[in-house]
Structure 1
Amino acid sequence: MDTTKPEAPKKDKLQNDASTELDSANAQSHPATIRKWFFYILIVGLIVSAVISIIAVLIGEINDVVTRALWTTFIMVLHSLIAVGLLSISTNKRNPNADEVALNILVGLTIASFVSSALGTWGVLSGAVVSDLYKLIFYALFADLLIFILLHSRMTDRAIARSAMASIGITVAFFIYLIPNVFTNSLNYTLPDIYNRGVAAFSILLSTAVVITIVFHWIYRIKHADELESQANAGQADTQLSEGSTPKQTMPLWAKVVLIVVGIVFGLPIVIGVLGGLLALLTRTL
């Protein structure tokens, strides 16, 4: 009788577990590496700041160059702290694709903000150019946060997935459309009125898509209340049994709050506009 056959499934299971752990480690290595380098930058910035301060004390004079150097070091340390905080927030297991997109964009925006501040501190860029660059960074940050939240939608539902992807497409198109409006201050030019009407149209379109996504989420929760409750209970039981289990894809609480606030801010003007239009139509007919 051959006694080695029952050991084959155990060996395959061990190999699968090892492969899963390796994939998980590789998935987490990228954010961890970036976070490590930002910590290095933070330490170097503190050392440079201390050295500059000691030199200024020994010289007995804090001139313009020393002041700018200290400001540059402070900006570098500040942006490193911001980057570390953002990486800590954006790194989770709910939706790896959403986190990867948000991570790359947030790191890029942090670096762009540091470069803009440093060049403005040393007078390479004028205040108007730096102001316009920060306007562009703000637009990109808003678009990134909105896309990050939408990517945490329940993509298993077809209606929610289509609405969320449409909202993401409108967000990207709106951001591209806003770029000509960024440098009107530094380049001293005026956009036509039709452009401003396009901004208003994009705002209405984007807010409508976001509100529709929220409504689809509410409808899904109402229709599948029992299923969601059972999944939540099962997820808690699995978490207690195994710490290595992957949680269900759910939108984090802070993302829900931000999405609701965005929906209210953008949705109220739509509701008021529709009600006002209906009231004006009724007034004319009467």
Structure 2
Amino acid sequence: MKRLFLELWENFKEYIVLVVLIVASLLALTFNENIAVQKVRAAAFGSFAGVTSVVSDLISIAKIKSENTRLSEVNAELMLQVNMLRQYGIENRALKELLNFKDSSDYPLIPAIIVAKSLTRAQNTFTLNVGSKNNVSRGMPVINDEGLVGIIHSVSEDFSIVRTLKNQELKLTVKDERSRIDAVMKWNGENLVMINVPKTHDVEPGDRIITSELSSIVPVPIPVGVVLKLTDVERGIFNEVKVKPFVDFMRIQHVFVLGIVESRQKNNLELNFYNRD
């Protein structure tokens, strides 16, 4: 033990002497009643207290920043969880509406999910997760609980492609629900329009537009949209009627394929006619 102390003394004697002197000085300052010493001691303790306070504040700020960072992370995680639950709720509500729609329909409906969208100015198409093995055929209408989405254009075993109403290749015969006026409707790259509507025909803004029974492409009346306005009113003998579709093509996810093709021969003839330039 003595040898250990000797080794410590030999190696650290300068530090040991310094520590002893510092302790002795502090004790002397503490117990010395001299006025000058008391002033020095007060100033030293005041400075030490100030430094301690600053250090304490810095530590507190660091702790607060760390806590804020942690809470921000927790809030972000909660936001993601709440948003996920909200999405589940929205999807659940949408599915319930679609199921109620399916239960109330008198026509065979094939439920489908849009797995891909090709949204261009002229050629809007959707890809569905149903195909020929689900009894889907070319020419079948695609709908949701709001109205007509489009027409099945091509079919594989597991998937099918829909030409939506916002596709220049798709033209449909539609009807003004109020006045019973028929017209051809197409997408002009910017709007759905009913073309070559005589000015003498009774069509007004706000009228509901549905599919016409004159069309074999969509052999049942399905809501399409509402008349926004009439253009080319001042010239020529025809009006062009702008139609706002009921379906939100950007947000739509779940659809039904209306599993009927009323007349295959007539349907193919009409599809080929309307698909010509």
TM-score, with normalisation over the residues of structure 2? 0.26
Q: Which has the higher helix share?
A: 1
Whichever of the two has the greater Rg, that structure is 2
Higher strand share: 2
